[in-house]
Amino acid sequence: MNKLAILISGTGSNSQKICESCFKGQVDAQVVCIGSDNPDAKGLEYANQNNIYSFAVDYKKIISDYNKNPKEFKLPSDFDYKNINDKLVFCPVKDREKYIKTRAFAERKILDEILKFKPDLLVLAGFMKTLTPYFIDRFSPDSQNPRIINIHPSLLPSFPGVDGYGDTFDYGCKIGGCTVHFVDYGTDTGPIILQKAFEILPDDSIDDVRRKGIELEWQAYPQALKLFFEGKIKIDESDSKRKIVKII
């Protein structure tokens, strides 16, 4: 059976829907582990209740340890600062060196946990940390066969970043939606697998927009995973300027 790993940061509602789809046989996969950057993530409780291996890597503590003594901070044995720095597209802080080093340290810990299970696919289900080239190159090195999937709360390429639904609402859009896409070095820039859209009515609040969006996310993620595990997704790189996902 196909093996699926999931990373979350909070309640894990998408993670729960994915697990339920696997339990029911709608997605031909077994969820082998659920991890988080937040030790208090409520989604980890669901994993424990359903006998799914769970773990947490505390990014905040890692950063705190680095700040105490940067020179003594132990990095992974395969860490190559120049390689990561050259590939890194997005850095949300001014201290690029600290960002790269602490992220690589945290990502090595995540890799050590999930690679024990040899998953076929990694799903980011509300995981609020961007993955650096250090992680991507080790888990999903083949651009023709990417193995990390994310869901974003907007119709990409519009409104990438943290608050897709909020940005959609604030801009006054008449249509909102969500996007399931592969993960690459950029921020929400990977090849798009599928999108689902909803109408934003004049009287809708931001809460209405978020509710409509998450309900579509619960449909979109299992649908995309089903396509992936059935081998129906192909990356077309015939256009040098972009990568297109074809459903075959």
pLDDT in tens, 104-129: 999 999 999 999 999 999 999 999 99
Q: Which is the catalytic residue, given 152, 196, 212, 243?
A: 152
Burial (CB < 10 A; 0-12, 13-18, 19+), residue 228, is buried
What pTM value is reported for the model? Answer: 0.95
Task: State in Å, rounded, how far the first CA of the chain is from the last one.
Answer: 21
Closest CA to 195 of 182, 210, 179: 179
Give the pLDDT mean for 58-82: 96
The answer to whether 126 and 13 are in contact (CB under 8 A) is yes
With a CB cutoff of 8 Å and minimum separation 6, the contacts of 177 are: 154, 155, 195, 196, 197, 198, 213, 216
* Cα–Cα distance measured from residue 75 to residue 121, given in angstroms and rounded to the nearest whole number: 26
pLDDT for the residue numbered 244: 80
* Cα–Cα distance measured from residue 148 to residue 127, given in angstroms and rounded to the nearest whole number: 12
pLDDT for the residue numbered 242: 72
- Report the 3 state secondary structure along 52-106: CEEEECCHHHHHHHHHHCHHHCCCCCCCCHHHHHHHCCCCCCCCHHHHHHHHHHH
Domains of the chain: 1-139 (3.40.50.170), 150-248 (3.40.50.170)
pLDDT in tens, 145-170: 999 999 999 999 999 999 999 999 99
Q: Is 181 a catalytic residue?
A: no
